[in-house]
Amino acid sequence: PFNPYEMGDPNNDSFTNIQDILLLISYITGQSEPDQYEELASDLNQDGNINIQDIIIMINFILGNTVNH
């Protein structure tokens, strides 16, 4: 499906940064519920779940590390 959000940018501010990590944490802990586009942008390993693995991928991306899946 079409996703207007960039992968790894669930808050859709054109940057992947700590704010996106905090948003993923809020989804995982149930403090907030992602809409369909936020969910697609947050599921970085595309396994159908937003979890710690997605946060690790995002942290590595922010730090400039490459991750082999």
What is the reported pLDDT for 66? Answer: 67
Cα–Cα distance, 61 to 11 (Å, whole number) = 16
First to last CA, the chain: 22
What is the reported pLDDT for 41? Answer: 96
Give the confidence band of 24 by pLDDT, cuts at 50, 70, 90: very high
Cα–Cα distance, 29 to 64 (Å, whole number) = 26
pLDDT tens-digit readout, 26-43: 999 999 999 999 999 999
Residue 22, pLDDT > 90, answer: yes
pLDDT tens-digit readout, 44-56: 999 999 999 999 9
Cα–Cα distance, 43 to 51 (Å, whole number) = 8
